């Protein structure tokens, strides 16, 4: 049932925002929800129909009750039962007490289920004003008990609880009021006729002051947000309190455990102190005997040991000096190399300082655990020392008789051990110096690696810039290459033109040479002819003088063609030389023009054969 009421009210609130802020809407919708519990759609549409038709002018003074409707009802009551109205006014009982509770609950608080169904059968069958007449008729039919009430609480109780009223009489009285009420005060004049809901879509319900509803919605949203924030803060405070309690309990348990450990440690320390005192007494007695023996031994070995030690110290000092010089030289080099990384080390120191502050809190408990382990190790070591002391005591008692026999061997072993100790000490010092040098060198290497990394980053940036420059150069090369191809095409065209020109000239020269050869052939024939003529002339000299005139004419004809051919050869040679000089000048001019336009380009030399 609650879920049905919730869904119906939610649907009403989505239909119109006023219903989300109306406090009496659950009371108004509850009887219909209970009646149509199994059909939510019919329930919603019935409630919407009731609101549209029978709740006219209810929301004009929202959030106050509908004073206009209550005023109409008070006028009707004054007309039909003035005595009852005067009684109510006498005790300050207004229409908001005797009429509004019945209206906002649709009479569901004062009627049984059967009575309420009977009343609403008549309400739905009449004009919407009949609903107001039912409420007035209920007060008129209950006038006897109302006239006996003299306190405001009694009136409020009467109109909020079921009373012994005949509902049939109330219905008849309501019909009587509908007929007997004058038109000037009749609610029917102010209310519209019954209008069903529209089909397809529900009608728009906006007969209320929107600014008040919007303001209340904003206030409700603000209160909801404040409540959410309060709940969140309360949850955080509760979690913080729980964590604090847990931390407090853990701290108490830790302190209690530490207290018990300290008490146990004090008891064990007292026991150990007593045992140590006993052992100290025994050791003193043993020390006296050992001292006497040691004095004798030391007196014998002191002289030789001193000389040998001085010699070794001199050797060690020389080696250490060499090592110091080497370390100083490397340190100077390292200082020069690490000078650039001082700022980085300072930054790392600051970071380590911050990390140190963060880790200091965690180190306390770790230190306690380490202290505990150290104490356990110390106790184990003490027990081990005690056992060893006992064993040594037994060995001393057993071997006391054999000390004299082993004295010589002990002296030799002692000397060897002393020498071994000195050697190991010298090696240890050298190893420590070398290790410090290795650590410094490793530090220097790390700085160098860091510098190399920075250099690689810078080289990558430089390489990127070089690549961009290279791309630009390649673009220029492609552009220049295109221009070079154009120039080569122009040069090829010029070469073709020159070749064509030279071919024409060569053809002319060849034709001229052929002509010359033909002329040479003619000249040879003429020369043979002249030789034959000369021979004939020798023979003709013996003839009479009159024939010599013809021979002279022939020699004249032979010499004139020979002279014209020599001149033509010289002229052709001169024209050929001039043509070759012009070709070379033209090629030189083209080459100089191409070089001035594109200096990097080089044209291959073209070999011209004359």
The CA dihedral of 564, 565, 568, 570, to the nearest 10 degrees, is -110
**What's the half-sphere exposure (Cβ side, CA atoms, 13 Å) at 86?**
5
Distance separating alpha carbons of residues 376 and 523, to the nearest angstrom: 140
Asked if 165 and 138 count as a contact pair (C-beta separation under 8 A), the reply is yes
Asked if 91 and 151 count as a contact pair (C-beta separation under 8 A), the reply is yes
550 pLDDT higher than 50: no
- Higher pLDDT among residues 222 and 554, named by residue: 222
237 pLDDT higher than 60: yes
Give the model confidence (pLDDT) of 566-597 as tens digits: 676 677 778 778 877 877 787 777 777 766 76
- Residue 382 burial (10 A CB sphere; 0-12, 13-18, 19+): middle
Distance separating alpha carbons of residues 246 and 234, to the nearest angstrom: 18
Mean pLDDT across the chain: 76
- Residue 320 burial (10 A CB sphere; 0-12, 13-18, 19+): middle
600 pLDDT higher than 70: no
177 pLDDT higher than 80: yes
60 pLDDT higher than 60: yes
State whether the Cα torsion 430-435-436-442 is positive or negative. Answer: positive
pLDDT band per the 50, 70, 90 thresholds, residue 321: confident
Most trustworthy range by pLDDT among 72-86, 261-275, 351-365, 567-581: 72-86
Asked if 59 and 116 count as a contact pair (C-beta separation under 8 A), the reply is no
What are the residues whose beta carbons fall under 8 Å from the beta carbon of 434, sequence distance 6 or more? Answer: 323
Residue entry with tokens 């609880």: 161
pLDDT band per the 50, 70, 90 thresholds, residue 553: very low
Residue entry with tokens 């970071």: 351
432 pLDDT higher than 70: yes
Give the model confidence (pLDDT) of 10-39 as tens digits: 888 788 777 777 888 888 888 888 888 888
59 pLDDT higher than 70: yes
- Cis-peptide, bond into residue 63, ω within 30° of zero: yes
Span of 103-107, 141-145, 193-197, 477-481 with lowest mean pLDDT? 477-481
Report residue 160 CA to chain centroid gap.
65
What are the residues whose beta carbons fall under 8 Å from the beta carbon of 95, sequence distance 6 or more? Answer: 70, 71, 73, 74
Which pLDDT score is estimated for 556? 41
Give the model confidence (pLDDT) of 85-137 as tens digits: 899 888 888 888 889 999 888 888 888 889 999 999 998 899 999 999 999 99
- Higher pLDDT among residues 126 and 321, named by residue: 126
- Higher pLDDT among residues 86 and 532, named by residue: 86
**What's the half-sphere exposure (Cβ side, CA atoms, 13 Å) at 165?**
30
**Model's pTM, two decimal places?**
0.39
Q: Return the axis-axis angle of helices 210-338 and 342-399, rounded to nearest 10°.
A: 70
Distance separating alpha carbons of residues 584 and 602, to the nearest angstrom: 17
- The arithmetic mean of pLDDT across residues 265-271, rounded, is 86
pLDDT band per the 50, 70, 90 thresholds, residue 172: very high
What are the residues whose beta carbons fall under 8 Å from the beta carbon of 20, sequence distance 6 or more? Answer: 12, 13, 217
Nearest in space to 76 (alpha carbons), one of 137, 120, 123:
137
Which pLDDT score is estimated for 538? 40
For 25, 31, 48, 117, 197, the CA distances from 40, given in Å and listed in that order, are: 16, 13, 12, 19, 16
Give the model confidence (pLDDT) of 199-236 as tens digits: 877 777 767 666 566 666 667 777 778 888 888 888 88
State whether the Cα torsion 156-160-165-171 is positive or negative. Answer: positive
């Amino acid at each position: 049932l609650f879920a049905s009421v919730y869904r119906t009210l939610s649907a009403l609130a989505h239909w119109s925002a006023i219903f989300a802020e109306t406090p009496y809407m659950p009371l108004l919708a509850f009887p219909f929800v209970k009646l149509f519990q199994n059909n939510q759609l019919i329930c919603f549409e019935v409630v919407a129909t009731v609101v549209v038709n029978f709740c006219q002018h209810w929301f004009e003074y929202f959030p106050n009750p509908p004073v206009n409707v209550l005023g109409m009802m008070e006028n009707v009551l004054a007309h039909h039962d003035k005595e009852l109205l005067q009684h109510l006014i006498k005790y300050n009982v207004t229409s908001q007490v005797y009429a509004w509770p019945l209206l906002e609950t649709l009479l569901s608080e004062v009627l049984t289920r059967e009575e309420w169904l009977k009343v609403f059968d008549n309400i739905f069958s009449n004009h919407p004003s009949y609903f107001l007449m039912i409420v007035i008729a209920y007060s008129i039919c209950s006038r006897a008990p109302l006239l006996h009430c003299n306190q405001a609480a009694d009136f409020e109780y009467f109109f909020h609880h079921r009373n012994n009223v005949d509902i049939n009489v109330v219905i008849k009285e309501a019909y009587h009021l509908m007929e007997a009420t004058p038109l000037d005060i009749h609610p029917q004049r102010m209310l519209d006729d019954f209008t069903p809901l529209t089909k397809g879509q529900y009608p728009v319900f906006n007969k209320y002051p929107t600014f008040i509803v919007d303001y209340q919605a904003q206030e409700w949203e603000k209160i909801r947000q404040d409540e959410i924030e309060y709940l969140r803060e309360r949850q955080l405070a509760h979690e913080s309190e729980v964590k604090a309690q847990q931390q407090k309990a853990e701290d108490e348990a830790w302190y209690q455990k530490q207290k018990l450990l300290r008490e146990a440690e004090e008891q064990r320390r007292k026991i150990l102190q007593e045992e140590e005192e006993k052992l100290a007494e025994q050791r003193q007695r043993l020390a006296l005997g050992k001292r006497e023996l040691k004095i004798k031994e030391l007196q014998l070995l002191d002289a030789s040991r001193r000389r040998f030690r001085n010699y070794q110290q001199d050797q060690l000092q020389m080696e250490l000096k060499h090592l110091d010089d080497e370390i100083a030289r490397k340190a100077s080099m390292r200082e020069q190399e690490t000078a650039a990384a001082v700022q980085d080390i300072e930054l790392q120191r600051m970071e380590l300082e911050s990390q140190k502050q963060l880790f200091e809190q965690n180190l306390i408990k770790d230190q306690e655990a380490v202290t505990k382990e150290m104490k356990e190790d110390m106790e184990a070591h003490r027990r081990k020392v005690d056992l060893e002391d006992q064993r040594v005591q037994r060995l001393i008692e057993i071997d006391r008789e054999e000390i004299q026999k082993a004295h010589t061997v002990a002296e030799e072993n002692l000397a060897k051990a002393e020498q071994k100790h000195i050697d190991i000490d010298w090696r240890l010092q050298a190893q420590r110096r070398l290790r410090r040098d290795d650590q410094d060198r490793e530090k220097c290497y790390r700085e160098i690696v860091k510098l190399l990394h920075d250099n690689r980053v810078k080289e990558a940036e430089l390489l990127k810039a070089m690549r961009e420059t290279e791309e630009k150069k390649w673009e220029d090369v492609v552009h220049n290459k295109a221009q070079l191809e154009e120039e080569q095409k122009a040069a090829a065209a010029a070469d073709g033109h020159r070749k064509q020109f030279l071919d024409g000239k060569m053809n002319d020269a060849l034709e001229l040479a052929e002509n010359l050869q033909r002329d040479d052939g003619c000249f040879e024939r003429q020369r043979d002819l002249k030789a034959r003529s000369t021979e004939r002339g020798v023979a003709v000299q013996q003839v009479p003088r009159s024939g010599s005139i013809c021979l002279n004419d022939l020699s004249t004809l032979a010499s004139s063609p020979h002279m014209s051919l020599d001149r033509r050869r010289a002229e052709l040679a001169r024209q050929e030389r001039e043509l070759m000089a012009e070709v070379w000048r033209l090629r030189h001019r083209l080459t100089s023009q191409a070089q001035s336009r594109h200096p990097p380009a080089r044209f291959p030399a073209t070999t011209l054969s004359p």
